[in-house]
Amino acid sequence: MTIIQEIRSSYSTQLYLWVSGFVLIISGVVLILLMRFSQGVIHDESVDATLQALENIALRIDNTLRQTEITEQQDQQQCRVGRSRIERLIEENGYLEPLKELLPHAKLYVTRRDSSQLAIYFAGNESGYRQMIYEGDEIYIFTQPVGQRQYNLAVVCPANDINAKYADVHWFLLSSAEIISKIANTITK
């Protein structure tokens, strides 16, 4: 008796094969949907976390500069805020560290709003990000104004920094699919 004749003759074997096939297909569809959904969610979470970290840095810098301006005005000194002063604040206070935890390859720049090369990508006092191709590599550029000052903070990072978290979830989902496949193969044997 061949295997096909054996399957045709046994109702329980047919039911067993149909149920295991159904479970395998549904599991595959669920995993594919999870992979698609998780990629978008993780991307959005990474972008939001980066924008929030950059906003926090800009607020700290602006508050520090305001305190310095008040102190210097009380001492009858002229307060001068420039790019080098902002860069020094970032360096001295370790403002870049939380950002480096999110985006290990990120570079932080201080740019003037009115003459920045980034001005073609960002309008005025708005914070935001752009995804683009630069010299053949996909990058993200995030900007955040420093209060009402004439300076922006700009973070440039490779797309891999944003998508790195997704790789872990993707690996987990693929591992789950492989386990389900092995279980289905064991059941059908």
Q: Split the chain (189 residues) into runs of 10 and give each run's mean pLDDT.
A: 63 73 78 74 85 92 89 79 86 86 87 62 67 88 88 89 73 72 65
155: β partners: 108, 142
Q: What is the pLDDT of residue 102?
A: 83
User: Is residue 177 a part of any domain in this protein?
Assistant: no
User: Is residue 74 a part of any domain in this protein?
Assistant: yes
CATH number at residue 133: 3.30.450.20
> Please, what is the Cα angle at 94 between 124 and 166, to 5 degrees?
75
Global pTM reads 0.68
* Containing structural domain, residue 155: 36-167
User: Is residue 11 a part of any domain in this protein?
Assistant: no
User: Is residue 24 a part of any domain in this protein?
Assistant: no
User: Is residue 141 a part of any domain in this protein?
Assistant: yes
Q: What is the pLDDT of residue 130?
A: 86
Give how many domains the chain has, as a whole number.
Answer: 1
User: Is residue 182 a part of any domain in this protein?
Assistant: no
Q: What is the pLDDT of residue 58?
A: 92
User: Is residue 14 a part of any domain in this protein?
Assistant: no
Q: What is the pLDDT of residue 3?
A: 64
User: Is residue 48 a part of any domain in this protein?
Assistant: yes
Listed in sequence order, the residues at least 6 apart from 78 whose beta carbon sits closer than 8 Å to its beta carbon are 72
Euclidean distance between CA atoms 100 and 108, whole angstroms: 10
